[in-house]
Amino acid sequence: MDTVDAPARRGLRRLIDAQAGGLPRPFWWLWLGTLVNRAGTFIEPFFVLYLTTVRGESIRTTGLVLTVWGFGSLLSQPIGGVLTDRFGRRPTLAASLAATATSLFALGLARDLVTITALVLVLGIAADMYRPASSAAVTDLVPEADRTRAFALQFWAVNLGFSVASVSAGLLLHLGYGVLFTLDAATTLAFGLLALRFVPETRPETDDAPARLLDPIRLFRADRLLLAATGLVLGYAVLYAQVGISLPLAITHAGLSASFYGYAIAINGVLIVIGQPLTLRLLDRWPRHHSLPDGMALVGVGLAATGLCHRPWQYALSVVVWTVGEIATAGSFQALIASLAPAHMRGRYAGALGVAWGASGLLAPVLGASGFAASPRLFWSGCLVVGLLAAWGQNRLLLAIDRRFTPTPLAPARLP
């Protein structure tokens, strides 16, 4: 038995080394912290139900509270980027995660709507402040040739953790929302403690002026390529968000049960959790001039195909298409921004990218719901156009980035 198992174990070890080997130890502590944190994300998927059932709020009021959360999220990463470059990666990680844990615990105890709304705003601001610090730390620690793979692994940890959280929260829900708030806070705090204990400070010394609050916005004037990259990410993020906005509307509009949407999203989760680790080295070898535009185009094609679907297997096939596109882009946006950023401004560049993701959370529901309501056929055609235009723009951007750094780098942009 041992002689049979030994080659299998060696083969598995070689596979793991081939896909994930060569990355520094502190990166893996960040990866583990991300996994633990996301595996404990119990409140976000059920917060709407918590407000409407336990707290007895109306759907309209719940929507307003969620908008406050979205507004906080829009501010979160730019603030985190400034703190990352001014005070360091570790302090920002620790402060953000501690503030998030405290907000979650307090939110579980809050009873009146004013207090809940105030805490939701604090939570929205604090919850993603760690992302620029984590991104800057990964960029500092990992050589450029391995960064896309490293960020793709972080993306995988987020998806794997969230899949675990969705199942676990459903199983734990019978214990009460108080337990979910407490466990969510505990796993968030655990990430902060792991970062403080095992992740070194990597902020480089600089003679430039200290980072200022509005720097991520000023960067858009100082670096036009960053502005273009952020605009493309915003378009892609609004497009991808239709997975959770317009896709369920299309499925129920076709006469299928709402539960089928859960099965469709499960296909996406399974493909990412199983398939992405097997494609990490392929992404490393696949030039980003192809992988990133091709992935964006595939997401547009897959979502546009929704408009042609009528049967469950057709929807399932469309999910496979845009999931392949999602895997192809995984980690590439962060690696692209990291390649643009001077070492002492990596937090602010990552924070500027976060503006796009935050803004998409406010824009996507309005554009998606209103567009689908006006004309489903035109809406899905528009998704195709957005995906193809984003792919074309991304290709042009990558060529412009090559011109900036070849044959000799230009001086990095300085803030006014």
Question: Residue 102's pLDDT is what?
Answer: 96
Residues with Cβ within 8 Å of 317's Cβ and at least 6 positions away in sequence, in order, are 305
Ranges for all domains in the chain classified under CATH 1.20.1250.20: 23-144+173-203, 213-416
- Tokens 């796993």 locate to 187
**For residues 331 and 307, what is the distance between their CA atoms, to the nearest angstrom?**
28
Report how far residue 261's alpha carbon sits from residue 267's, in angstroms, rounded to the nearest whole number: 10
CA 145 to chain centroid, in Å, comes to 21
Q: Look at residue 414 in the predicted model and tell me its pLDDT.
A: 59
Q: pTM of this prediction?
A: 0.86
Question: What kind of fold does domain 213-416 have according to CATH?
Answer: Growth Hormone; Chain: A; (1.20.1250)
With the CA atoms of 389, 371, 376 and 48 taken in that order, what torsion angle do they form, in degrees rounded to the nearest 10? Answer: 110
Q: Which residues of 329-363 are buried (b: 16+ CB within 10 A; e: fewer)?
A: bbbbbbbbbbbbbbbbbbbbbbbbbbbbbbbbbeb
pLDDT of residue 164: 86
Consecutive H or E run containing 162: helix 147-172
Q: Where are the alpha helices (DSSP H) in 44-88?
A: 47-49, 59-87
Q: What is the pLDDT of residue 369?
A: 87
As a whole number of Å, the CA-based R_g of the chain is 21
Give the span between the Cα atoms of 141 and 132, in whole angstroms: 14
At 21 the pLDDT is: 63
Measured at the CA of 354, the angle between CA 153 and CA 138, to 5 degrees, comes to: 35
Contact present, 363 and 238 (Cβ < 8 Å): yes
Asked if the 23-144+173-203 domain carries CATH number 1.20.1250.20, the reply is yes
Give the tokens for residue 128. 């993603």
- What local confidence, expressed as pLDDT, does residue 284 receive? 65
Overall size of the chain counted in residues: 416
Taking CB atoms within 8 Å and a gap of at least 24, the contacts of 372-377 are 372/245, 372/246, 372/249, 372/250, 376/250, 376/253, 376/307, 377/307
pLDDT < 70: residue spans in the chain: 1-21, 283-287, 407-416
Report the distance separating Cα 322 and Cα 315, nearest Å: 11
